[in-house]
Structure 1
Amino acid sequence: MLIGDDVRLAKTSVGPMDNNAYLLTHGEQALLIDAAAEPDVLLSQVAGLTLVGVVTTHRHHDHIGALAELVAATGAPAYAGRPDAAAIAEATGVLCREVWDGDTIALGPLRLRVIGLVGHTPGSITLAHAPSGRPVRLFTGDSLFPGGVGKTWRPDDFDSLLGDVEAKLFRHFGDDTIVHPGHGADTTLGTERPHLGEWRARGW
């Protein structure tokens, strides 16, 4: 699917938890978001392409199952949110380039913006692709889904995550912004925006 600025997007569900792995391509270059599982499937998708990076949205085990294999097979650099990078390295043996708010990740001439969202994990990140003349696309991992933010385990974590999602996503991007979560179907910020108060009231 062409999503603007000559970038194509392919979404693949992998693993027993139906994780979404997203492959962005620009010409012969590719960027993979969440090498979650089924490395053979993901490697087949990048065959013939130059994989310029593998981005992990957060450290949970279901999002890193194929990371080591992808990096070993392709030599591509791995990226992760700074507060999650050590845990990912411990679990996979992969040393990630640490990124956070204000950083970008390159795909050809394009730069995808990194947005840190604290709560689901300490170092969860979202990638923002803002093509000219088309809606912004946010790859949110498990921080934002249709119907709510990602799972948290303490009230402080929920407050942090919802606060970051409101401040860094909903206040910054328009209603036509497309959300690509770590599991399940896509949504838009406009669809979810009217329910922010409900989410805060229910506490999840």
Structure 2
Amino acid sequence: MTSLIHDLVHVTVRRVAVGDMDNNVYLITAKESGAQVLIDAADDLPAIQSLLAEGAADAAAPAKLALVATTHQHWDHVRALEGLVAATGARTAAGRQDVSGIPVPVDVVLDHGDVGRFEGFNLTAVHLRGHTPGSIAYVLKDDGGPHLIFSGDSLFPGGVGNTQKDPDRFELLMGDVVERLFDVYPDDAVVHPGHGAPTTLGAERPHLDEWRARGW
């Protein structure tokens, strides 16, 4: 089964599911420069290293892991982060309000709307409060392809992320997801969550009122 999920003009995107919680690890590789960004070093360092090697084969130049971007501080999304940083020397990024919960020093502290510029692609940080205080979705747009939203645990097929039945946290997350994703990006934008299968904003948009009414 191939790890390749998108073969776009300038980049490839690969995915592997790891660990006992079926966490998704995503890898973006620039075809020309070999620059790579890995999203969520969740678990299973050997599997992540295999993913990096598969991505490297997509590039015309020697690949280099430019950044490990974490969607949020929860333990199941960072179990391999320390080992990966030690093995590669890659820089790290996370949302400002989650930095204290990340098990390695964070080199790039992200706020809403920050743009990471790499050799061959850009990534936009979208702050989605509620699942954790500093959860970040990363948005990629390549020529001719749809927007890709790496949503962590803030947005899934069928609803927003877990807010522990706290109505204030739910309203915060629901508001951010609507205002910062559904109101900004088109229906063909593909949502790649932290666990499980992808969806699109168009598939989920008709259910927003239902989610709000049920409170989760």
Aligned counterpart for 1:83 among listed residues 87, 92, 97: 97
CA contact (8 A) 1:54 1:78 kept: yes
SS at match of 1:192: helix
| AA matched with 1:143 | S
Task: State how far apart, in whole Å, the 2-side matches of 1:23 and 1:57 are.
Answer: 13
SS at match of 2:187: coil
Task: State how far apart, in whole Å, the 2-side matches of 1:15 and 1:175 are.
Answer: 31
- Give TM-score, length-normalised by structure 2: 0.89
SS at match of 2:38: strand
- What does residue range 106-185 of structure 1 map to in structure 2 within 5 Å? 106-153=117-164, 154-185=166-197
Cα 1:116–1:69 shift into 2, 3 Å: same
| AA matched with 2:187 | D
What do residues 21-57 of structure 1 show as CA deviations (whole Å, max 9, x unaligned)?
0011013221100000001111232246310000000
Relative to structure 2, which stretch is displaced further, 22-31 or 147-156? 22-31
CA contact (8 A) 1:3 1:131 kept: no
CA contact (8 A) 1:3 1:134 kept: no
1:56 alignment counterpart = 70
Aligned counterpart for 2:202 among listed residues 167, 182, 190: 190
Note the C-alpha offset of 1:93: 3.3
1:23 alignment counterpart = 27
What do residues 83-107 of structure 1 show as CA deviations (whole Å, max 9, x unaligned)?
001111xxx2333420111211233
Task: State how far apart, in whole Å, the 2-side matches of 1:93 and 1:32 are.
Answer: 15
CA contact (8 A) 2:9 2:143 kept: yes
RMSD: 1.2
SS at match of 1:162: helix
Note the C-alpha offset of 1:3: 4.1
- What does residue range 31-46 of structure 1 map to in structure 2 within 5 Å? 31-46=37-52
| AA matched with 1:175 | D
Task: State how far apart, in whole Å, the 1-side matches of 2:14 and 2:104 are.
Answer: 27
| AA matched with 1:112 | L
- Give TM-score, length-normalised by structure 1: 0.95
* Structure 1: tracts of 5 or more residues without a match: none
CA contact (8 A) 1:14 1:20 kept: yes
2:13 alignment counterpart = 9
Residue identity (%): 49
CA contact (8 A) 1:129 1:136 kept: yes
| AA matched with 1:98 | V
| AA matched with 2:106 | L
Task: State how far apart, in whole Å, the 1-side matches of 2:117 and 2:205 are.
Answer: 29
How many residue pairs are counted as aligned between the two chains?
A: 201
